């Protein structure tokens, strides 16, 4: 049995990597506009965001979806 998941774009990517990359790409202000959750809009940090996102599946889903969309647009641009 293999651990390969070719159709899962999040395979091998941690939530911390996702939040860190999104913050580096968009910045906290734009990230808070794109996903209106308090951990991005009020005194944001990676640590506080991770704590919230690990407890809140609907918010984590939105962050993961934005990450996938961002990765797809980056790859399309080359």
* Each residue's pLDDT expressed in tens, for the chain with a length of 78 residues: 455 676 788 989 999 999 999 999 999 999 999 999 999 999 999 999 999 999 999 999 999 999 999 988 866 665
pTM score of the predicted model: 0.85
DSSP classification of residue 6: T
DSSP 28-46: HHHHHHHS--HHHHSS--H
Sign for the pseudo-dihedral over CA of 34, 38, 44, 49: negative
Query: Domain 15-77, CATH 1.10.720.30 — does that match?
Result: yes
78/72 Cα distance (integer angstroms)? 10
Delimit the domains of the chain by residue range.
15-77
């Amino acid at each position: 049995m293999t651990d390969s998941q070719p159709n899962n774009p999040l395979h091998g990517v941690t939530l911390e990597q996702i939040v860190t990359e999104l913050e580096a790409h968009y910045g906290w202000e734009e990230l808070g506009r794109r996903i209106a959750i308090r951990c991005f809009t009020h005194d944001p940090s990676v640590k506080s965001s991770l704590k919230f996102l690990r407890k809140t599946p609907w918010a984590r889903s939105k962050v993961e979806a934005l990450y996938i969309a961002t990765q797809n647009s980056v790859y399309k641009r080359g």
